[in-house]
């Protein structure tokens, strides 16, 4: 009796409680994407992309088939094995390489494939002169676009053209009083070996440190792209603490300051800003001969930056994220433009190892009052979600929940400013929202970290990259419709390991029988698939003083 079951839709089910599960996981990890990791049965998916990544990492079809035959509980359909061998065989028929005479060129092992490719409408304009029967020149600027287009055609090119080293700059890790955790080192090394790629780690697992470690391995000028200004400052202080870099070596490139230093941290917002239809800050990419580009929260990468990234294929690229789910479904673009996934691990496993705090997720359902229900039914469709998710009943409940955790730092997170103001007034707590100035934000965060402030109400500006290690309770009162990654990020706020090893608590307050409940279910699915099962309790149970 083995632990792996192969499904006809090319998903693999792994029974985690099985004795050979670990062994099997290692065998299938190179070619299958972990899709869901709930308590008992993990789901991996074999996609062409994953198979090609496996080829890129030096695995062959024989090895994949062998893993199937060894671990599969039931016979594997022959057609599936054939399909896998065929798919893997498509990789590497085309090679992108630096031609000694002509520069960047596309070379084919299989003449027929080249003929098909050069005739493809989308690819033709990216190619130059045909210098040999099996070699076509490629415009260096089209390297990324070509790779993306070839992937879509199903003939992924093996990129052997290498990377420019960039401007060298000494960076070292300053491991005084702390050291790299095992998985951080593995992630950084796996990135360094591959040259480019994405590292997926849960919130609170220290992605910044992985970034720092990668920089220390590359030892070159680095451009770091992050989500917002607060995050710029956090990166900056983290780099100062963890590496040999000094204040003068790190520049900030944001709405307010435009410094270009050997290590420059910029916000996506600035990069994507346009004036009269022109991206005015594009030159930052050309400002230095960057040896490494780091994309923080790569799942949020805006479309213009995608396009710019296509031009950066000769530079090393590192993507960092907790959740490689994009609500726009452009995960494939992340893979082809930033690079394949280099490291991933189930959240629950990190939790078991103590690297992130265990979390207890509770959904609290509140009832709309009768008059609210009537109002909800008559509301305009575009207002319905806003109406139900900011029901007044939630305020009462939040007050009760906060009162339940008198000694803990509580974050109240929501999307609607009116609602946040209302809750803040009820709790007598400050609010951080879009209009709050950066200085004020940082002051409040500092107060919260130090313990001066026990309760903080935040809007979605605090969704990402805000390091609040001592926050132990998060109460989500409204969300951005069904965004799964937002939910995960918000849970991430409380996942930093606590000094006393406490369990974090994550409440989602949801209005019953409304759109709010439907969206909440969608959001929670992602976390449930990461192994965070929700409990559901009724608001009146909470209000009547029952144990949660």
Beta carbon nearer to other proteins, 69 or 392 = 69
Position 7 contacts other proteins (CB under 8 A): yes
Cα 297 to Cα 526: distance, rounded to the nearest angstrom = 17
Using the contact rule CB under 8 A, the part of the chain among 37-45, 112-120, 315-323, 441-449 near other proteins is 37-45
Nearest-approach distance from CB 352 to other proteins, in angstroms? 16
Position 181 contacts other proteins (CB under 8 A): no
Position 377 contacts other proteins (CB under 8 A): yes
- Residue selected from 29, 41, 240, 461 as contacting other proteins according to rule CB under 8 A: 41
State how far the alpha carbon of 225 is from the alpha carbons of 163, 289, 300, 543, in Å.
19, 16, 11, 44
Q: Which of residues 334-363 bind other proteins (CB under 8 A)?
A: 363
Q: Which of residues 484-543 bind other proteins (CB under 8 A)?
A: 513, 525, 528-529, 531-536
Q: Which of residues 44-83 bind other proteins (CB under 8 A)?
A: 69, 72-79
Structure tokens at 478: 């409204």
Which of 204, 195, 254 has the alpha carbon at shortest distance from 226? 254
Q: 229-242 vs 438-450: helix axis angle to the nearest 10?
A: 50
Position 367 contacts other proteins (CB under 8 A): no
Q: Is the dihedral of CA 307, 310, 315, 321 positive or negative?
A: positive
Structure tokens at 317: 């690229």
Looking only at the bridges linking them, the beta strands covering 157-159 and 94-99 are parallel
Output DSSP code: residue 335. I
Beta carbon nearer to other proteins, 1 or 112 = 1
Binding-site size for other proteins (CB under 8 A) equals: 39
Beta carbon nearer to other proteins, 373 or 502 = 373
Position 450 contacts other proteins (CB under 8 A): no
Position 38 contacts other proteins (CB under 8 A): yes
Rounded to a whole number of angstroms, the CA Rg of the chain reads 25
**339 φ, ψ to 5°?**
145, 170
Nearest-approach distance from CB 377 to other proteins, in angstroms? 5
Position 548 contacts other proteins (CB under 8 A): no
Nearest-approach distance from CB 376 to other proteins, in angstroms? 8
E-state strands within 237-383? 250-253, 263-267, 274-275, 278-279, 292-295, 316-321, 341-343, 359-366
Position 325 contacts other proteins (CB under 8 A): no
Which of 282, 232, 290 has the alpha carbon at shortest distance from 261? 290
Chain residues binding other proteins by CB under 8 A are 5-9, 11, 13, 15, 36, 38-41, 43, 69, 72-79, 363, 370, 373-374, 377-378, 513, 525, 528-529, 531-536
């Amino acid at each position: 009796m083995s632990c792996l079951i192969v499904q006809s839709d090319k998903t693999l089910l792994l029974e985690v409680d099985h004795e050979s599960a670990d062994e099997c996981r290692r065998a299938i990890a190179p070619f299958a994407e972990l899709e869901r990791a709930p308590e008992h049965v993990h789901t991996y998916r074999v996609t062409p992309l994953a198979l090609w990544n496996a080829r890129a990492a030096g695995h062959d079809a024989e090895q994949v088939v062998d893993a199937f035959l060894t671990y599969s509980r039931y016979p594997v359909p022959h057609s599936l094995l054939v399909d896998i061998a065929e798919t893997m065989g498509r990789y590497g028929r085309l090679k992108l390489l630096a031609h000694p005479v002509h520069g960047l060129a596309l070379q084919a092992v299989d003449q027929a494939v080249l003929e098909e490719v050069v005739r493809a409408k989308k690819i033709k304009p990216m190619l130059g002169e045909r210098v040999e029967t099996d070699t076509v020149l490629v415009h260096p600027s089209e390297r990324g676009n070509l790779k993306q287009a070839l992937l879509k055609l199903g003939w992924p090119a093996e990129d052997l053209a290498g990377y420019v080293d960039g401007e060298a700059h000494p960076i070292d890790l300053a491991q005084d009083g702390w050291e790299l955790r095992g998985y951080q080192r593995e992630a950084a090394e796996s990135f360094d070996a591959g040259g480019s790629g994405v590292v997926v780690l849960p919130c609170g697992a220290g992605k910044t440190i992985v970034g720092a470690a990668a920089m220390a391995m590359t030892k070159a000028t680095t451009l770091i792209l992050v989500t917002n200004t607060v995050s710029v400052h956090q990166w900056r202080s983290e780099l100062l603490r963890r590496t040999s870099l000094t204040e003068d070596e790190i520049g900030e490139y944001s709405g307010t300051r435009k410094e270009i230093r050997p290590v420059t941290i910029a916000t996506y917002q600035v990069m994507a800003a346009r004036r009269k239809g022109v991206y005015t800050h594009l030159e930052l990419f050309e400002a230095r001969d960057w040896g490494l580009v780091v994309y923080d929260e790569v799942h949020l990468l805006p479309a213009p930056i995608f396009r710019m990234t296509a031009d950066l294929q000769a530079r090393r690229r590192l993507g960092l994220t907790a959740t490689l789910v994009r609500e726009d479904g452009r995960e494939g673009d992340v893979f082809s433009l930033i690079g394949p996934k280099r490291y991933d691990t189930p959240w629950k496993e990190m939790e078991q190892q103590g690297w992130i705090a265990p979390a207890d997720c509770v959904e609290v359902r509140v009832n709309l009052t009768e008059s609210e229900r009537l109002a909800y039914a008559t509301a305009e469709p575009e207002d319905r979600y806003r109406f139900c998710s900011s029901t007044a009943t939630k305020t009462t409940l939040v007050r009760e929940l906060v009162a339940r955790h008198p000694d803990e730092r509580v974050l109240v997170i929501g999307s609607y400013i009116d609602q946040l103001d209302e809750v803040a007034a009820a709790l007598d707590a400050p609010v951080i929202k879009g209009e709050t100035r950066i200085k004020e934000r940082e002051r409040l965060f500092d107060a919260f970290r130090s313990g001066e402030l026990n309760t903080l109400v935040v809007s979605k500006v605090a969704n990402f990259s805000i390091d609040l290690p001592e926050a132990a309770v998060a109460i989500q009162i409204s969300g951005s419709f069904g965004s799964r990654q937002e939910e995960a990020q918000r849970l991430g706020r409380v996942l930093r390991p606590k000094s006393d090893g406490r369990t974090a608590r994550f409440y989602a307050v949801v209005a019953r029988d409304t759109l709010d409940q439907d969206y909440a279910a969608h959001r929670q699915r992602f976390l449930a698939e990461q192994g965070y099962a929700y409990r559901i309790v009724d608001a009146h149970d909470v209000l009547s003083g029952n144990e949660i």
